[in-house]
Structure 1
Amino acid sequence: MNIEVSLGLWQDRPAAEVLDTARIADELGYPAVWIGEMATYDAFALATAAGAAMRTSSLVLGPFAVQVRDPMMIAMGAASVAALTGRPVQVALGTSSTVVVEEWHGRARSAPGAALEEAAEAVAPILAGGKSGFTGRQVGSRGYRLRLAAPGADLTIAAFGPRAIATAARHAARMVVNLVDPTTAGELAEALGEAANRIGRERPRVAAWIPTCVDPDAAAVDQIRRGVVGYLAAPGYSDMFERAGFAQVVEFARSRPHPRELLAAIPDELVFAVTAFGDRDAVLARLRAYEAAGVDDLVIVPACTDADPAAAHTLKTLAPGAGF
């Protein structure tokens, strides 16, 4: 069972706590720590601060929104982190949300699927040490070559819909899915395999971000409850939640209630449908369910609460060599 760690960047926790989580994950021997980007730290800056203290874990940076971060910026940032920390670095790409791209960054989010495919094609040669030479309708870079050592061209693509899955099948070493139940994870893995087979390529590895907590309290459940609010009415996700038995909650989400009202309407059972929460045995059983569905890399997103600061208990329980 290959378990990696993604920093939760929880908005209800002190921002600097993620550095403790990264340090603990490294000390416990987790093979990789994923560092994304939300509303607090710049991902490259956080990765440099966290990675400088690491001795074991590699770093996976992103997914970076391809209509916010251009290919040169992504490649230069990844090479900078690798050079300044001495850690192996991989890059993940995604499309992010309309709120992030259009409202926060003031960029257009037209044709995100096309932008994702173009970004993957544009950034891979730069990460491999080549000179950029791609111009697309959405994304491009020409004439730039890294001055630092190239971190490598293996890409991870965050995917859910058919266009992103096709991009992952063609360009990625790994596809990552987020906040899905084991059944849906298996369907997405199968779709990736079919897309790869159509172009004569072996299926990339599949990773899944799984919010995880060993011996959770109410605060941990609430932390994830807040995280699912934005997914309930989203295409694809709404179908998943309906299939899992939460059609009434999805219908309510589609009516666009105040977020506070929607949050109150989300039952604990919905949270448990897309997480690995419970005692040690229950969490391990849940992770094995994702593995059995076709997920190669289990990326736990550990809840951090006053009862488990920096997710130390969860990380220690699930650490490599913990005897399961």
Structure 2
Amino acid sequence: MSLGLWQDRPAEEALLTARAADELGYSSLWVGEMATYDAFALATAIGLATDRIRLTVGPLAVAVRDPMMIAMGVASVASLTGRRVDVAVGTSSPMVVESWHGRSRAGSAAALRETVRALRPLLDGDRSDFIGTHVRSTGYRLRLPAPRSRLAVAAFGPSAVRTAALADRMVLNLVTPASAGRLVARLRAADPDVPVTAWVTAAADPDREAVDRVRRAVVGYLPAPGYGEMFAEAGFGDVVTFARTRPHPRDLLAAVPDELVASVALLGDPREQLAAYAAAGVDEVAIVPVSTDRDPGGAGTLKALAGRP
């Protein structure tokens, strides 16, 4: 499963969610980074508060964190928790990279590929020796034990998919099963052996608060290149057209039907949607539980979905 890191919920619910996932037998936990906790700090806290669940930190924005910083962070979490720790990288959004961090996303596709190439030897304990166009690291070797992490790439566009073929896993977020199928096909053409994980938001017993929370998460993607076309293909072209007129966020939110939300989420009985992702070639679904007043931390959703194939 993956932490939702819902910005309008108490930040500390992340630990509640992580403990529930560990107790319910989920195999791994993705620890992302948004506006609250530093991802490495949160992963360390989770590792100390749980018993067995495997951790993946990220996806981390390659325009914000350099390979040495990422390798040191992963090794730190592994050393401090005694847990196996994997890592994921991606290009992130203009809001995060350009607005929050004041960095440029120019050349982000190339930076993603170069980061994967530079990061692999560092995670294996070798001395860094990489000079690329956007990424460079020379002369550093981990002083902590090498984590030998599996490396995942968050992908959506063709270039990122090609980069994922160089990694150990491709991760997709907020995609319909049809879109997932095309992305998996592109990956398989480049490397048939790299597995695919899809992050899918879930609410086992969705009330209006749960559906609206997912709706708010979706609206920012509607006008985005690629994502807009994906939702249009799913039958919501009128909503995408409206989103691209830059309406007031309140008006756009009101225009998003529940059916659009359900096209990229598990709301209620998940069997049909899980089967669709499986048919698309997705190897595993990472549940992103919706946190609400009725289901703090999404623990009820995790319990309801635990053990489903």
Task: Calculate the TM-score normalised by the size of structure 2.
Answer: 0.98
Residues 154-303 of structure 1: pairs in structure 2 closer than 5 A: 154-169=150-165, 171-196=166-191, 202-278=192-268, 282-303=269-290
Tell me the distance in 2 between the aligned counterparts of 1:232 and 1:195.
29
Letter in 1 for 2:111: A
Q: Can you give the 5+ residue segments of structure 1 that lack an aligned partner in the other structure?
A: 197-201
Corresponding residue of 1:313: 300
Match of 1:19 among 11, 15, 19: 15
8 Å CA contact 2:4, 2:288 repeated in 1 = yes
**CA shift for structure 1 position 285:** 2.7
Tell me the distance in 2 between the aligned counterparts of 1:187 and 1:203.
16
8 Å CA contact 1:233, 1:250 repeated in 2 = yes
**CA shift for structure 1 position 234:** 1.0
**CA shift for structure 1 position 288:** 2.2
Tell me the distance in 1 between the aligned counterparts of 2:190 and 2:303.
37
* Secondary structure of the structure 2 residue equivalent to 1:207: strand
**CA shift for structure 1 position 13:** 0.7
Tell me the distance in 2 between the aligned counterparts of 1:102 and 1:313.
36
8 Å CA contact 2:85, 2:149 repeated in 1 = no
* Secondary structure of the structure 1 residue equivalent to 2:286: strand
8 Å CA contact 1:211, 1:276 repeated in 2 = yes
**CA shift for structure 1 position 71:** 0.3
Query: Any idea what the Cα deviations from partners look like across 1:138-158, whole Å, max 9, x if unmatched?
Result: 111110001111111421000
Residues 56-205 of structure 1: pairs in structure 2 closer than 5 A: 56-169=52-165, 171-196=166-191, 202-205=192-195
8 Å CA contact 1:54, 1:87 repeated in 2 = no
Query: Any idea what the Cα deviations from partners look like across 1:150-187, whole Å, max 9, x if unmatched?
Result: 11142100001110001111x21100011011111111
Tell me the distance in 2 between the aligned counterparts of 1:99 and 1:315.
30
Corresponding residue of 1:199: none
Tell me the distance in 2 between the aligned counterparts of 1:291 and 1:60.
22
Tell me the distance in 2 between the aligned counterparts of 1:257 and 1:203.
43
Letter in 1 for 2:214: I
Tell me the distance in 2 between the aligned counterparts of 1:152 and 1:139.
21
How much identity, in percent, do the aligned residues show? 61
Letter in 2 for 1:212: A
* Secondary structure of the structure 2 residue equivalent to 1:6: coil
